[in-house]
Structure 1
């Protein structure tokens, strides 16, 4: 009897500790599986939801979606980066859903044309023989992945595509061939050398046909310090990015930024690049809470201005309005407090 009592106590203690440990875990995201008829395979997707997503004290809201290529490499740090940059009261970006797309056949999915490049060691071997499937991959994202995300999660109709290397090549190719697919594109050290710089030709063809880039779209391109760090680096990478930059900047109709990162090589540039890209894509989103005490109407004016710039509607989030109301109350700005309470009740009416 004594041993049985000890066993029961030990079991209950183990269960209790397991629950405590489970509660102590910090969860970055969740995994989903999407079967693609287009690609004829299951695709693993990693989802990071904003911290307020499941907050029952506020009204359910919709969030912009960032589609992150090479998810298995970039997801963990990128999720934390979006949480950090969206933290009120001085958020640089809105809270976002991050969708990390894990690779299966990376070269196939991210390259726009079939490689004809022969191995310098054995001319009978074609390098990147599985290349040229980016059109199908774009179709998968547009016709299968996006509908899945919008059906299962509260996704806003504003999206960003983020890629590095071949992923950057894919982002620029998608921008040129399907500019309507995303609102903003980020290409970190893109492999624009691909197939004798085929995307340089496509960029020239696009402008010759359309005269200018589409309105209210953003493109952010980073360039690593490859030649400085590695003297033997093939300069095709650098030359192609520079050539693309010259064409885009000469046209001058696109919300475009090129950033050279001194001291960052091809494998490291995406981390600082993604941080700066988020601030560029959402430039104008940050507001100054202290100015609202004197001019409460400025909040709605600035959100309208930002919405007009990016071509999508953004409104102050309920958590941010709560922060503003608390600030006004603690600093004795009664009229401003009342004003923002009315704004909150208008945007987020209480439901019974």
Structure 2
């Protein structure tokens, strides 16, 4: 049966302190419950119970064979909502649907996200533990990721997103544990930590390591100097005060990355002159995910939309996209959503191009062999060609797969006609 869908092909086309984190998480517990599934695990590595939230894609079904990439979000109590909003608007055309895991950092945040032990930071005495990033990384690698992979339909393709200290943690993970994630979004990272210690490490690692298949996006907010508005992106590197160390560290790191292009790391850096540290997350998540998934965006949409494009050329476009996605993900995935392939088939059927319509339905069956609707659609094709025998065959397959009485009833009607 033809399923009418609202498908438009052309559419495919300064550090956050712990009290603030605590306040926002504690003020919104019920809201977070609506955004993601509350979960936790007892970490032997950290010797404590760790909370996190899991947001599943809208069409997620544990009984279906489809699996999803995963995005891990530091400070999930604040930033999960943001990433979820961006996914609602952009996924499917700009980047794939993903399972989102928001890790709570409301307790011991500075300890977990900073990369070295210090007693003073920016001339301020610290009354909390620091330098636990390595242990927190081990928690993610050896406890959290395996837990998520066991419980949900995940793939091995992962993204890490962090802001401020979380951005510092994100870059540290890329530099010292690049195997854990494919994409790294470091939003306004606190690279000034411990006299730019991570920058010195990066100079060596970025020169000697190969980061093929890895992507890094870094952003910088527009408040370059807290007390001097005359400091701009054009002259900030000439300032030597502590007020600009945050920005200068960010820019210096980006220059280090650019000087080591031979390591094959995909890199994009963006400055947000109208944003401050507290507002930069939203635009950074949008631009960052679009950037690191640039290869995912659909190509040749004008040819797909044109009914004059030959069937063979459309077939080659589909084949090329399937190969491209497999190259980047590291495993085979359908080149287009089943609904899009189906709708394209129906559109060509309506335009009296039955062979092209059949090709679309065949591709839908090829890439979604356990989806009953694609077989039902192929039955529509055969019925339009007055081939009742094949129409009955494909509706029968849809019924065997699903056991749905709708297909059973259609099967009876077709058999009566035959």
TM over 0.5: yes
Tell me which residue corresponds to 1:17.
none
SS in 1 for 2:224: helix
SS in 1 for 2:254: helix
The question of whether the paired residues in 1 share the 8 Å contact of 2:214 and 2:266 is answered with: yes
The question of whether the paired residues in 1 share the 8 Å contact of 2:164 and 2:188 is answered with: yes
Q: Give how far 1:50 is off.
A: 0.7
Larger radius of gyration: 2
Q: Give how far 1:339 is off.
A: 1.3
**In structure 1, how many angstroms separate the alpha carbons of the residues matched to 2:123 and 2:320?**
60
Please, which of 267, 280, 286 is the counterpart of residue 269 of structure 1? 280
Compared CA separation, residues 120 and 143, structure 1 to 2 (3 A): closer
**In structure 2, how many angstroms separate the alpha carbons of the residues matched to 1:326 and 1:278?**
32
1:107 aligns with 2:127: no
Compared CA separation, residues 188 and 106, structure 1 to 2 (3 A): same
Q: Give how far 1:309 is off.
A: 4.0
Tell me which residue corresponds to 1:299.
318
Tell me which residue corresponds to 2:43.
36
Q: Which runs of 5+ in 2 are unaligned?
A: 1-32, 230-241, 371-399, 402-418
Stretch deviating more after TM superposition (73-82 or 280-289): 280-289
**Aligned-CA RMSD value:** 2.4
Please, which of 39, 57, 60 is the counterpart of residue 53 of structure 1? 60
Q: Give how far 1:157 is off.
A: 1.2
Aligned residues: 316
SS in 2 for 1:80: helix
1:187 aligns with 2:190: no
Tell me which residue corresponds to 1:7.
none
Compared CA separation, residues 193 and 296, structure 1 to 2 (3 A): same
Q: Which runs of 5+ in 1 are unaligned?
A: 1-25
Deviations 1:223-253 (A, max 9, x none): 1111267528820111101110111111113
The question of whether the paired residues in 1 share the 8 Å contact of 2:225 and 2:243 is answered with: no
**TM-score in terms of structure 2 length:** 0.70
Tell me which residue corresponds to 2:202.
203
SS in 2 for 1:284: helix
**In structure 2, how many angstroms separate the alpha carbons of the residues matched to 1:237 and 1:327?**
54
Compared CA separation, residues 280 and 333, structure 1 to 2 (3 A): farther
Compared CA separation, residues 65 and 319, structure 1 to 2 (3 A): farther
Residue pairs, 1:1-352, within 5 angstroms = 27-54=34-61, 59-87=64-92, 91-103=93-105, 104-117=107-120, 120=123, 126-127=125-126, 129-208=128-207, 210=208, 212-227=209-224, 231=228, 234-252=243-261, 253-287=264-298, 288-292=300-304, 294=309, 295-297=313-315, 298-309=317-328, 311-316=330-335, 317-350=337-370, 352=401
The question of whether the paired residues in 1 share the 8 Å contact of 2:166 and 2:189 is answered with: yes
Stretch deviating more after TM superposition (149-158 or 310-319): 310-319
Stretch deviating more after TM superposition (296-305 or 147-156): 296-305
